[in-house]
Amino acid sequence: MPGQNRQWQLTARPQGLPRRSDFTLATLPVPEPAEGEVLVRTHYISLDPAMRGWMNDVRSYIPPVRLGEVMRAGAVGEVTASKHPGFRPGEHVAGMFGLQEYAVAKGDALQKVDAAAAPLPRYLSALGMPGMTAYFGLLDVGAPQAGQTVVVSAASGAVGALVGQIARIRGCRVVGLAGGAAKCAYLRDELGFDAAIDYKSEDVGRALGAHCPKGIDVFFDNVGGDILDAALVRLARQARVVICGAISQYNSTAVAGPKNYLMLLVQHARMEGFVVFDYAARYAEGMTAMAGWLKDGSLKSKEDIVDGLETFPETLLKLFNGENFGKLAIKSV
């Protein structure tokens, strides 16, 4: 059994953007699994905007990370020891293992993954939580119909890029918002979006008007703030606004709500939030669909991998300053 386990613990509640001083990189003995548990060596650890909310001591859809605990995070890795009949050393699994090199988990909390069928980081992107978020958030909550216009904010990110591609597969016209010429070109030229708006250099409201002359039927929002307000003004009748996230607000001390919400009344539209965990019983459905689209080439997945567990505090900030390009993850081994 290996002797040491490095893990990032949350030791202070961040004020604004998280800082390295809000965390402690601790070295502890590698834990041993009890009956019904397995020991996993993490290989890739997911970094997600939701992590910022988990650091706050406020009411949410999931309890906050307590001070002194390992920072919560999804990951994929290899079973190194098992006291569960359903898992053997050498198998690869995904789960909420936290920001650490080794984790003990109950067998019923693990999902086996096939490293021969897809690269391991893909199980943190299109075949993981971002993929399930995009699939169920768009198709169940957004309910797009062929020929309708779907607009996606943070469209080059882990979830947004998949949402846009699924909408395109379903026969929709797709407009993505992203930051910078390179990301916008990626949306148009590689992912097949019909149009891309650079929120850093364009007037978003004016561009939405130009690219969505009949209005927005589905707005899948990952950003909130001014972007959400610009989209609300341009909703089509009976539009659906899907609230997946609000990354523009996560580090604010005073969250800015939508000013133009009365457009929901005017356009007989609805705005609905969702949490992907609510669809856990249907993950197999989503993974089957995503795997099929990946296999036939109609869906692409992009991962942004950074080496080294020790880089976590700085790597996390890539999510909030727009540096990441695709699904952000840390390679821990």
Q: What is the pLDDT of residues 152-162, one digit of tens each?
A: 999 999 999 99
* d(C-alpha 309, C-alpha 326), whole Å: 19
Residue with tokens 């947004």: 160
Mean pLDDT of the 46-62 span: 92
For residue 215, the model assigns a pLDDT of 98
H/E segment holding residue 106: strand 102-106
> Confidence class of residue 322 from pLDDT cuts 50, 70 and 90?
confident
- Tell me: pLDDT of 253 over 80: no
264/333: higher pLDDT: 264
Q: What is the DSSP string of 267-306?
A: TT-EEEE--GGGGGGGHHHHHHHHHHHHHHTS----EEEE
For residue 60, the model assigns a pLDDT of 84
23/325: higher pLDDT: 23
Residue 265 exposed, middle or buried by CB count within 10 Å (0-12, 13-18, 19+):
exposed
CATH architecture of the domain covering 129-277: 3-Layer(aba) Sandwich (3.40)
Nearest to 149 by CA among 239, 38, 261: 239
* d(C-alpha 78, C-alpha 37), whole Å: 14
Sign, Cα dihedral of 134, 228, 13, 306: positive
> Confidence class of residue 252 from pLDDT cuts 50, 70 and 90?
confident
- Tell me: pLDDT of 1 over 80: no
pTM of the predicted protein model = 0.93
Domain ranges in the chain are: 4-125+302-331, 129-277
> Confidence class of residue 61 from pLDDT cuts 50, 70 and 90?
confident
Helix axes 283-296, 160-169, angle to 10 degrees: 70
Residue with tokens 């942004």: 304
* d(C-alpha 317, C-alpha 62), whole Å: 22
Q: What percent of the chain has pLDDT over 70?
A: 99
> Do 33 and 128 contact (CB within 8 A), yes or no?
no
Average pLDDT, the chain: 96
* d(C-alpha 302, C-alpha 88), whole Å: 30
Nearest to 178 by CA among 135, 207, 144: 207
Which contacts of 288-293 are long-range, i.e. CB under 8 A and separated by 24 or more positions? 289/135, 290/126, 290/127, 290/131, 290/135, 290/162, 291/117, 291/118, 291/127, 293/165, 293/166, 293/169
For residue 147, the model assigns a pLDDT of 98
For residue 255, the model assigns a pLDDT of 82
- Tell me: pLDDT of 46 over 90: yes
Yes or no: domain 4-125+302-331 corresponds to CATH 3.90.180.10: yes
Mean pLDDT of the 293-316 span: 97
